[in-house]
Amino acid sequence: MTLSPIRRVIAIVAAIALLFTGASISPAAAGTPNTPAPNKVVNESTVGIQMFMYPWTFIGSECTNVLGPSGVDWIQISPPQEHINGEQWWVHYQPVSYKLDSSLGSRAEFAAMVQACNKAGVMIIADAVINHMANSNGIGYAGTEFSKYDYPGLFGENDFHGTMSMDEPRYCDSNISNYDDIWETTSCMLGGLPDLATEKESVRNKIAAYLNDMISLGVAGFRVDAAKHIGSVDLKAIVDKLNPVNGRQPIIMSEVIGSGGSNAPFTEFGYAWAWDMPNMLQSSLQQQGLRMGTSDSWTISFNGSAKTITMVGNHDTEHHGPTSIAYWEGKKFQLAHIFMLATKFGIPEIYTGYSFSDENSGPNRDPNTGKVMTAKCPTTTTKPSMIVADGVYTCVQRWSAIQGMIAWRDAAGTNKQTRSYYTKYAVGKILQFNRGSNFIAMNPTAVSQKATVKTWMPAGSYCDLISGGKAPKKTTKTCVGTKIVVDKLGKAVMTVPAYGAIAFGAFTKLK
C-alpha cells in the first residue's frame, strides 16, 4: 500500500509519541466508552460466533440488527492491531505495532463497533496476537516502519528469544521442531515468527497495555492466539496485569492445540479454545453418525464442558486442508452446527467467514487503500447455499436454522440430554434426544427420512425451529415453516430432510 504524504507524516508523529510512552495509543485519546461490556459470564448456556475477517463497520451493524436480536452472547473478531501489508488473511497474524488500525478498520471504527455491540448486549472478544511479531521488514498497514526484531516504540532485540543473550535460559534462535516439548514450544519460533520473551516483565507490561487499551474501549475479553506457545505461566502473568471487566477478570479463551491434560493449566484462568472438536464432528458425519456429546465421554479429549469452547470449524481448520466441515458442504456444515448447538457439552461458537478458491486469500479489498470492503452476504441467507464467488461472506449468523437453534438452546438452559435414541431405518438413521421441554431429531444421511418418532412431548401442534427460525410461529395457529403434530402417546409422523433436522420445544407450541 502506498501512503499519502499526509498519512506518512501522521505515522511518523505517532511513532515519535510511542518512543516516549512505550504503549500503542493512550486509552484516554478515545474518551470514556458510553456503554460498558455487557455484564455476562460465558458458560454452557451462552452462544458465541467467530466472525472471521468481517470489517468493524459491518459487525457493529450486524450486532444491532441480527446478532443481538438473535441471542448471540459474544463475537470473536479478527486481530485488530496494525499488521504487515498483503492480501492474504494471515497478514493479520503478523503484528507490526499495537495501534488499533488495520485493514478491517480504524481505531475510531473499532471503538464504534464495540459500542454498538455492547448496546446490543453482545460482548466483543478480540483475537490477541501476543506471542510474536511480524517475520519481515517494511512498512505496516498504518505506516509503521519496522524490521524483524525491531518495532519502533514497542519491542527491540532484547525482547525476543531469538536475539537475547545466548546465556539466558530461554534463548532460542531456531524454529520449533518438537511440539511436545514445553521449553521448545514456548521459547523457539513458530514458523519463523519472532518469539516474544513473555517471561520478561517489560514485555508483559507492553502486552498488557495493549490489551488494557482495548478494555478501555469496552472489549470484554480475548481469544489468545498461539497461547500454547506463550505458555500458561507467562500468559497468566500477563492476564494478572489486565484491568477488570464488570468487576471480574476479562474473559480469556486460549488457543491450545492438545489433549485435555495439556490444556488444563490454561483453564485455571479461562477457557480452552480447542481444535479437536471440529475433527470429531467431521468424523461423526462421515460415518453417518452424530454421537451424543456428554461430559463423561468427551472430557477425555477435552477439558470439562464448562471450560471448553466448542466449534464446527475455525479460520485455521477451514483454510488449511480443510480439517473440518466447511461452508462449501452446505447442509452438512449446517447440520454440524445444529448438533453443536443442541448438545449439552461445551460452550458453542458458531463460525462464519468468506468464500475463497485460494486458501491464502483474504476477503475483497479496496485496491486503492488496501482496506477490506464492506461485507456482502449471499442473496439467500435463510438456508445454506453454494457460494462460488471469491470474497463473498457466508453470513451463517443469518441462516434460519442457526437462529432457530440458538432459541432452542436458550430454552434448553442447563437441562441434560435425555431419551437419546439412534434409530436405524431401511435407508438411513435418525439421532434424537430431549433437553428439558425441547426435542430434536437429526438425519446425518443423504436420504430424507419419514418416520413415526417418539418425541416424549405433550400432545399438540408445534412449529419447527429449523425451517421457521427464531420466531417460528406465523400466528397462534400457523407456522412459518414445518408444523409437527404430536399425538397423545407423544408420537409424531415427521419427515427429517437429508442432512437436516426437526427441532421444537414447549415455547413453539401452537394454541
**Among 409, 428, 459, where does a domain finish?**
409
- Euclidean distance between CA atoms 216 and 51, whole angstroms: 22
Are 364 and 489 found together in one domain? Answer: no
Q: What pLDDT sits at residue 5?
A: 35
Domain CATH code at residue 89: 3.20.20.80
Report residue 426's pLDDT band, with 50, 70 and 90 as the boundaries: low
CATH number at residue 484: 2.60.40.1180
Residue 425 is predicted with a pLDDT of 75
- What does pLDDT average to over the chain? 88
As a dihedral over the C-alpha atoms of residue 501, residue 389, residue 351, residue 336, rounded to 10 degrees, the angle is 30
For residue 377, the model assigns a pLDDT of 86
Indicate whether 81 and 45 sit together in one domain: yes
Indicate whether 13 pLDDT > 90.
no
Strands in 363-480 per DSSP E: 417-424, 429-435, 438-443, 449-454, 460-463
Residue range 287-311: mean pLDDT, rounded: 70
pLDDT (0 to 100) of residue 381: 61
Q: Are both 15 and 72 inside the same structural domain?
A: yes
Are both 368 and 497 inside the same structural domain?
no
Rg for the chain (alpha carbons), in Å?
24
228 and 263 within one domain: yes
Q: What is the pLDDT of residue 428?
A: 74
pLDDT at 16: 32
Q: How far apart are CA 190 and CA 452, in angstroms?
A: 54
Contact 499, 444 (CB under 8 A): yes
pLDDT at residue number 290? 62
Q: Which of 409, 425, 460 is the last residue of a domain?
A: 409
Reduced to 3 states (helix: H, G, I; strand: E, B; else coil), residue 260 is helix
**pLDDT tens per residue across span 69-113:** 999 999 999 999 999 999 999 999 999 999 999 999 999 999 999
Q: Is residue 315 within 8 Å of 355, Cβ to Cβ? A: no
Per annotation, catalytic residue among 225, 318, 329, 464: 225
Q: Which residues contact 104 (CB under 8 A, 6 or more apart)?
A: 53, 54, 55, 56, 77, 78, 80, 92, 371, 372
Is residue 340 domain-shared with residue 473, that is, in the same domain? Answer: no
Q: Are residues 54 and 176 in the same domain?
A: yes
Do 453 and 485 touch, CB atoms closer than 8 A?
no
Pairing of strands 500-505, 438-443: antiparallel
CA 34 and chain centroid, separation: 25
Structural domain total, the chain = 2
Instruction: Give the model's confidence band at 8: pLDDT under 50 very low, under 70 low, under 90 confident, else very high.
Output: very low
Catalytic-labelled residue, pool 101, 255, 329, 464: 255
- Say whether both 305 and 184 belong to one domain: yes
Cell of 421: 435414541
Higher pLDDT, 503 or 17: 503
The boundaries of the domain holding residue 93 are 5-409
CA-to-CA distance for 249 and 238, rounded, in angstroms? 12
For residue 387, the model assigns a pLDDT of 67
CA distances (Å), origin 463, targets 19, 49, 498: 62, 25, 19
Question: What CA–CA distance (Å, rounded) separates 235 from 477?
Answer: 55
Q: Higher model confidence: residue 144 or residue 26?
A: 144
Percent with pLDDT over 70 in the chain: 87
Burial of 370 (0-12, 13-18, 19+ CB in 10 A): middle
pLDDT classification of 380: cutoffs 50, 70, 90? low
Instruction: Give pLDDT, residue 383.
Output: 64
Q: Grid coordinates standing for 290?
A: 452424530
| Cell numbers placing 218 | 469496552
**Catalytic site includes residue 180:** no
Q: Name the 3-class secondary structure at 217.
A: coil
Q: Are residues 462 and 343 in the same domain?
A: no
Starting at the edge strand found earlier in the chain, the sheet holding 500-505 runs: 417-424, 429-435, 438-443, 500-505
How would DSSP label each residue in 70-88?
Answer: HT--EEEEPP-S-B---SB
Does residue 395 have a pLDDT over 90?
A: yes
Q: What is the pLDDT of residue 298?
A: 59
Residues 370-396, mean pLDDT to the nearest whole number: 80
* Band of residue 305 on the pLDDT scale cut at 50, 70, 90: confident
Q: With bands split at pLDDT 50, 70 and 90, how would you rate the model's confidence at 442?
A: very high
The rounded Cα 390 to chain-centroid distance in angstroms is 21
Q: Which helix (H) or strand (E) holds 230?
A: helix 227-230
From 375, 409, 443, give the residue that closes a domain.
409
Rounded Cα distance between 344 and 297, Å, is 12
- In this prediction, residue 12 has a pLDDT band, given cuts at 50, 70 and 90, of very low
The pLDDT tens digits of the residues spanning 24-81 come to: 333 334 455 689 999 999 999 999 999 999 999 999 999 999 999 999 999 999 999 9
Q: Tell whether 265 and 359 lie within a shared domain.
A: yes
Q: Is residue 225 flagged as an active site residue?
A: yes
Backbone φ and ψ of 221, nearest 5°: 180, -170
Q: Are residues 470 and 356 in the same domain?
A: no
Residue whose grid cell is 464495540: 114
Instruction: Identify the band that residue 424 occupies on the pLDDT scale cut at 50, 70 and 90.
Output: confident
| 278 pLDDT higher than 80 | no
Grid cell in block for residue 65:
440488527
Domain shared by 362 and 423, yes or no: no
In this prediction, residue 389 carries a pLDDT of 78
Cell numbers placing 277: 472438536
Judged by DSSP in three states, 495 sits in strand
pLDDT at residue 469 greater than cutoff 50 = yes
Q: Report helix angle 331-342 to 400-412, nearest 10.
A: 10
CA 223, CA 76: separation in Å to the nearest integer?
7
